[in-house]
Amino acid sequence: MSRQKISEFSAKTALYPAFNLDFRGLAITQDTSVSEIAKHFGDTNLVVKVDQGIKKRGKLGLVKINLKPSEIPATIAVWAKQGWSNFLVEPVYEHDSSSEHYLSLIRVRTGWQINYSRSGGVDIESNWESITTKLPTKLETFLNNILIPELDSRHISFLEMNPIVERGDKIIPLDMAVEVDSAASDLSILPDRMLTKSEKEIAILDNHTPASLKFKLINPAGRIWMLLSGGGASLVLADEVADLDLGSELANYGEYSGAPSDDDVYAYTKIILTQLLESSSSKSKAIIIAGGVANFTDVAKTFKGIIRALSEKSQELNSQNVKVFVRRGGPNEERGLTLMQKFLNEKNLLGSIYGRSTPLTVVVSQVKEYLT
């Protein structure tokens, strides 16, 4: 069963009561006014961060601390130009960095895998050898008696808190990442995950077609963008990107399947290209158009939809040094590949193009060569 990320705002809203804490955070967008922020927090020092399920926010410069309400709009305006749209504001919790601990719980077949370290915070990966499964008695009691039953009742399959600090009898998670079981029958007990504009637009498309159109924005400043056909192939390619140490450059995940029309594929592709072109990265980028060997989806028909969208954006794509790497097989494969190769050559967008005889992962290696 797959896991679905939810926003930190949603996670803390749902779980802070289990810690006997009042959550004072505010979810904001670029449209939120200074007066609304000031009304909620007064003149206290604030922390603001991107709240879209991305990890290593501190390392990526996506967290700012000790801001006043009047300083927040300028900060999120910079992030918005990078493609981020959802943000979380909270009061700063004063503490010593030496008091920061790390805790994660991952649901596995046999129960819960627990990882704990007394050396938490932004440098946890440098202190990975400090991770243990042994918990302090107080924390172990809290997990067994309160937290784990709460996670079970809310269909939560992953929880990471980094850092957590202790203050008196309180355990306080300052940063929280949560994933829920997407196959759970009722997730209404958790607030909805915030969707980006492009995710919302594709969700609407998906609801109006018998085909399947899925899209998850991972990193709007990423350099590797995917247009993938079929869930199995998308998993293989995403894993290959990670295996080649390109995971931090992966911009999106998703797939189109179920024999979509060329109009469906055109609209789907156009939304993704629009998102790509909003990237603040000045470096070259790659689009991977790939999939396994289709049984029913007409390769030529779907490629016509992709070509229409690429054609409308070709000048902008060239200006951002975008190349397209293709590997596809299925009905009308040769015709589709011929159409695509001719178009990409004419528009100076061709990275490489292959049919079913080439392993699916070859294009990822070529993307790495191009980007480096």
Helix (H) or strand (E) holding 49: strand 46-50
Rg (CA), the chain: 22
For the chain, list the domains and their CATH numbers: 23-91 (3.30.1490.20), 97-181 (3.30.470.20), 197-371 (3.40.50.261)
Nearest to 162 by CA among 191, 127, 197, 192: 127
Is a pLDDT exceeding 90 seen at residue 320?
yes
Structure tokens at 126: 């440098």
Contact 226, 234 (CB under 8 A): yes
Average pLDDT over residues 174-178: 92
| Angle 204-207-213 from CA coordinates, rounded to 5° | 80
**Per-residue pLDDT at 105:** 94
Q: Do residues 192 and 10 make contact, with C-beta atoms less than 8 angstroms apart?
A: yes
d(CA 230, CA 228): 6
Per DSSP, the three-state class of 204 is helix
Mean pLDDT of 16-39: 92
For residue 288, how many other CB atoms are within 10 A of its CB?
24
123 vs 58, more confident:
58
Percent of the chain with pLDDT over 90: 47
What CA–CA distance (Å, rounded) separates 355 from 337? 7
Give me the mean pLDDT over the 78-97 stretch: 90
Q: Say if CB 371 and CB 286 are below 8 A apart.
A: yes
Q: Where are the beta strands (DSSP E) in 150-284?
A: 156-167, 170-173, 176-181, 212-217, 224-229, 252-257
Q: Are 323 and 287 in contact (CB under 8 A)?
A: yes
CB contact set of 338 (below 8 Å; sequence gap of 6+): none
pLDDT band at 232 (very low <50, low <70, confident <90, very high): low
Share of the chain above pLDDT 70, in %: 94
Per-residue pLDDT at 294 exceeds 50: yes
Residue 186 has pLDDT above 50, yes or no: no
Taking the CA atoms of residue 228, residue 232, residue 233 and residue 237 in that order, the dihedral angle to the nearest 10 degrees is 100
Query: By three-state DSSP, how is residue 251 classified?
Result: coil
Residue 298, pLDDT score? 82
The yes-or-no verdict on residue 324 having pLDDT over 50 is yes
- Which of 146, 225, 58, 160 has the alpha carbon at shortest distance from 216? 225
Q: For residue 309, is pLDDT > 50?
A: yes
Q: What is the pLDDT of residue 189?
A: 45
Least confident of 37-41, 127-131, 190-194, 347-351: 190-194
Give the amino acid at 123. Answer: D
193's tokens? 């995950």
364 confidence band (pLDDT: 50, 70, 90):
very high
What value does the mean pLDDT take over residues 164-183? 85
pLDDT at 129 exceeding the cut of 90: no
